[in-house]
Chains A and B, each alone.
Chain A
C-alpha cells in the first residue's frame, strides 16, 4: 500500500502555489503601504473604545454619529449581546467620542478605553518580532534534538514557516490586523503546526509497516486533532466573548486550514522523498 495518489509528487505544486499567492498578497500590501501587513492600534499607537451593548447598532449609524472624528468602527456579536469597537488616533478625545455615541442614543454605560502611545507600541512591535523570531529558533532547536536529523527537522520548521506566511496572507484577505492577540494566535499556531508535523515525522520515521500505512495512520490522528481544534476555535469565534479571544480563534481557524495542506501534502511528500533517498523505505 502506498500513498493514495500515484503521481503524488506533482501535488507539491499545491503548497507552492499557496505560498506564491501568499507572498504576492503580502508584497502587494507592502508596495501599497510600505508595510507587509496591517498592524493594530496596539502595535502602531492609537485609541480603542469598546462599548458593550445589548443590541449592536448599525455601523452606518455609528459612523454618521461620529462623522466629526477620524475613527473606524467595527462590531462583534456573540452570546449575551455584542460589542461596538471604535478605533481612533492616540491623541483622540475618547470622552468626546463616547459623549457623541451617547447623544446618538447608544447606551455607553459599559465601556472601556484603551490608549497606547506610538513610542510604547513601537517598543511592543520590536519585542513582538524578536519574540516571534526567538520562539521560531528555539522550537527549531527542540525539533532537531527530537529527531537528530537536520533534513526532517528542517522540513518541520519549513512547514511551520510557510504556515505563518500563508496565515498572515489569509489574515490580510479577511481583514484581521496583526495585534498582540493575533500574534498570540500565531504563536499558538506555530505550536499546533509543529505538533502535527512531529506526529507525522515520528510515525513515518519510527513506525512500522509501509510508508502508506504509516502515513495513513498519522493522517487519521492528525486530522482528528485538527478537526477538534478547529471545532473548539469555531465555538470560541461564534461566542464572541471578547475581541481578544475572537481574534485568536480567527487566526487559528485560518492557520489550521492552511496547516492541513502544508503538513499532509507538502511535508508528507518531502518526507517520503527524503526517506527514499536515504534508503529508509
Chain B
C-alpha cells in the first residue's frame, strides 16, 4: 500500500500547502518594492495627506527599496515628488519629510509587540467600571487615536477579578504619545472670575439682569442654599459657582462658563486654528463652536462686568479672566476683551502658549482631540507600561531557527536510538514541522480565500475516500471541516504564542512516539500467534492520545476564560494546536506508520 493512498495524508498536504499560502501570499497592489508609512509627524508637509499604512514606492523618480534607504532619502530640501499608493504628490520640504516608514510586510502573520517593537499600556478605570463602561471608554479612545492620526493602535478590554482594564497596543509609537493622549479623562471646563461687591451686610451677585444676595460671616458665605466654606460650590440660575475668598469690598467667586457638553464643534482648519510665534514663546489658538446655552451663560456672567486698560498691549479687558481646565488642571488663562462684555459669543477662541513650536503644536492637537472625542465616563490610571524597541525581535527569528534545528536533531537522534528506524523518525520530524506551519498558517490574517479553498478540497478528499469505501472516521471529517474554519480567525504571534507552539510540538512528539510504539511493538500474544492487528494497536494509541488531548484542553480552557493578558496567546495557540494535532496530524502520522508496518 502506498503512503499516498491514505486520505488523512492527502488532507495533511492540503493543510501544509494552504498554510504556506496563508502565511506568504500577499497582494502587492503597488509592486513588491516600497515602504509602509508608520507615522507622519505633525510638522511634516504630508501631514493630513499621507496616512499610516500607505505604501511609498518612489521619491523623485527613484524607487524606495527598504526602510533603511528611506531614512536617508527622506532628508531633502525643496520640492519633492512622492509616489504613495500609486498616486503622485508634490511636497515642499524643509530638511526632512517627517515620515517614518517601515519595511513592507512580507507575511500575513501579525507579530506581537514583543517581537516587532512598540508600546503596550494597560489603563485601569479609577472607579469600578462595568464592561459596558469599558466599551464606551474604548470607543472614545479609538476616536481620539483616529483624530490624532494613529491608525494602527489596538484597544482590548481585559477583565481581571472584579476589575476591568483597557489594554492599548501601538506598534511603533512612543509611550509618551499614547499615555499623554489616552489616559486623559478629558473633562473640560472653563471658569471665569466673578466678584460680588459688598453693600452693608450682603454681597450682590449679578447674573444677566438678575441680582442675588449673598450673606457672609465667619469665613463662610450663604447664597440661600446653606453655609459654604471657601472652595465650596453652589448653583444659581443653572450656573455653578465656587467660593474663593472674601475681602472687605467683594466676595470673590469662580463661575463655570463652559464644559464638555457645551463644545459642539472644534475647528481644526488653518483659518481657525494655528500657531503664531510671539516673542520667545509660541501661541496656539483654535476656535470652538459653543452651544446656545453655553454662549448665553457667557453673556449673563459677563454682563455689567468691570473692565481695565492693559498698559502693555493697550487693549481693554474685562476684570474677569477666563481659565481653561482639562482634567482639573489649568491649561491656560485668557483675557476677555471688553467688547465681548454681555455678548452672546458662540465661537470663542481657545488659546495658550508653549516655549517651542513643537510643544505648542502637540498641546493644541492634544486639546483639540480631547475636546472633539469628549470626556471619558471615568478617569483612567496607567497600571502597566511595556516599551519594546523594534530591533529586539530582529535576531530572534535567526536564533529560533537554530533552536528548532537543534531540538529536531536531538529528537531525531533519540528516536533513532530507540527504534533504529528512519521510517519512524523522518515522518515524525516532518509531521512536527508541518504542525508548526499549520498553527502559524491558521493564525495568519487575510487568508479567508485560501482556507475556504482548503475546505472545498478537503470535502472532495473526504467524498472520494467515502466513495472508495475507505474508513472515514468522525475525527478526520471534523478535522477536514473544522480546521479550515478555525483558519479564518487570526491572532498575534508573540512570545507567549511561541511558547504555546513549543508545548504543542512537545506533546505532538510524545503522541507520535505513542503511535509508533503501540504499532511497532507486537504484543506477546501476537508474537506467539504470529499475527498482527493494526486496528487494535492504533485504537489503544488513540485512546491515550485523545485522553491526553482532552486534559490539555482542560488545562488551557481556564487560561482563555481568565484574561491574563500575556498568557492568553499561549492558551489559544495550545488549544488550536491540540485540535490540529488530534484531528489532522496524528491521524496522518498513523497513516504513514500503517504503511510502513504493512510493508514489513
Contacts and interface: CB of A to CB of B under 8 A. Distances in A.
A235 interface: yes
A194 B545 CA distance: 11
Contacts of A80: 395, 398-399
Interface string A160-188: 00000000000000000000110110011
Given A110-B389, A180-B566, A231-B411, A79 B551 contact: no
A124 B122 CA distance: 13
A178 to B, nearest CB: 13
A188 B500 CA distance: 9
Interface string B386-425: 1111011001101110110011001101110010000000
A211 to B, nearest CB: 13
B89 to A, nearest CB: 33
A184 B499 contact: yes
Interface in A111-168: 111-117, 119-120, 123-124, 126-128, 130-131, 134-135, 138-139, 141-143, 145-146
Counting chain B residues whose Cβ lies within 8 A of the other chain, the interface size class is: 35 or more
A99 interface: no
A272 B392 CA distance: 53
B548 A195 contact: yes
A115 B384 contact: yes
A233 B499 CA distance: 11
Contacts of B521: 217
A241 B403 contact: yes
A35 B348 CA distance: 60
Interface string A221-236: 1001101110111111
Given A120-B160, A191-B507, A209-B523, A224 B124 contact: no
Interface residues of A, number: 76
A278 B536 CA distance: 26
Contacts of A78: 399
Interface stretch (A14-22, A24-32, A242-250, A257-265): A242-250
Interface string B566-596: 1100100000000000000000000000000
A180 B382 CA distance: 20
Contacts of B550: 142, 145-146
B558 A131 contact: yes
Contact of A187 (B122, B406, B559): B559
Contacts of A227: 414
A85 interface: no
A218 to B, nearest CB: 9
Nearest to A248: B499
Interface stretch (A5-13, A59-67, A198-206): A198-206
Contact of A202 (B160, B411, B547): B547
A180 B564 contact: yes
Interface in B529-570: 540, 543-544, 547-548, 550-552, 554-559, 562-564, 566-567, 570
Contacts of B514: 199, 221, 225
A187 B517 CA distance: 26
Contacts of A135: 554-559
Contact of A235 (B387, B406, B510, B547): B406
Given A184-B570, A224-B418, A245-B495, A139 B554 contact: yes
Contacts of B505: 232
Of B386, B514, B557, B563, which is in contact with the most chain A CB atoms at under 10 Å from its CB? Answer: B514
B509 interface: yes
A262 B387 CA distance: 42
A114 to B, nearest CB: 4
B564 A139 contact: no
Interface in B142-184: 160-161, 163, 165
Contact of A130 (B124, B558, B566, B570): B558
B559 A119 contact: no
A132 to B, nearest CB: 8
Contacts of A33: none
B386 A139 contact: no
For the complex, would chain B's binding face be called helix, strand, loop or mixed by DSSP majority?
helix
Nearest to A247: B499
Contacts, number: 223
A241 B400 contact: yes
Of A50, A116, A119, A228, which is in contact with the most chain B CB atoms at under 10 Å from its CB? Answer: A228
Contacts of A236: 403, 407, 502
A88 B495 CA distance: 22
A241 B559 contact: no
Given A115-B385, A198-B548, A232 B558 contact: no
Given A217-B521, A241-B399, A244-B499, A192 B506 contact: yes
Contacts of B399: 78-80, 239-241
Nearest to A112: B388
Contacts of B165: 120
A168 B131 CA distance: 36
Interface string A46-57: 000010100000
Given A127-B160, A224-B418, A119 B383 contact: yes
A232 B411 contact: yes
A12 B521 CA distance: 30
A201 B556 CA distance: 23
Interface string B124-138: 100000000000000
B493 to A, nearest CB: 13
Contacts of A127: 160-161, 562-564
A42 B429 CA distance: 36
Contacts of B396: 241-242
Contacts of A52: 391-392, 395
Contact of A245 (B498, B540, B562): B498
Given A120-B160, A194-B551, A111 B389 contact: yes
B496 interface: yes
Nearest to A120: B383
Contacts of A146: 543, 547, 550
B482 interface: no
Contact of B496 (A134, A139, A209, A244): A244
A181 B502 CA distance: 13
B495 A124 contact: no
A221 B517 contact: yes
Given A113-B387, A116-B383, A209 B544 contact: no
B382 to A, nearest CB: 8
Contacts of A240: 399
Given A52-B392, A123-B163, A199-B544, A190 B386 contact: no
Given A184-B499, A208-B524, A120 B124 contact: yes
B477 interface: no
B555 A191 contact: yes
Given A115-B384, A116-B383, A142-B554, A123 B506 contact: no
Given A52-B392, A194-B551, 6 more contacts: A123-B160, A198-B548, A199-B514, A232-B410, A240-B399, A244-B499
9 contacts: A124-B160, A138-B557, A139-B554, A184-B570, A194-B548, A199-B544, A207-B523, A225-B513, A245-B499
Interface of B: 114, 122, 124, 160-161, 163, 165, 382-389, 391-392, 395-396, 398-400, 402-403, 406-407, 410-411, 413-415, 418, 495-496, 498-499, 502-503, 505-507, 509-510, 513-514, 517-518, 521, 523-525, 540, 543-544, 547-548, 550-552, 554-559, 562-564, 566-567, 570
In order of increasing CB-CB distance, the 9 nearest A-B pairs are A239-B403, A231-B410, A138-B554, A123-B160, A134-B558, A235-B407, A112-B388, A117-B383, A80-B395
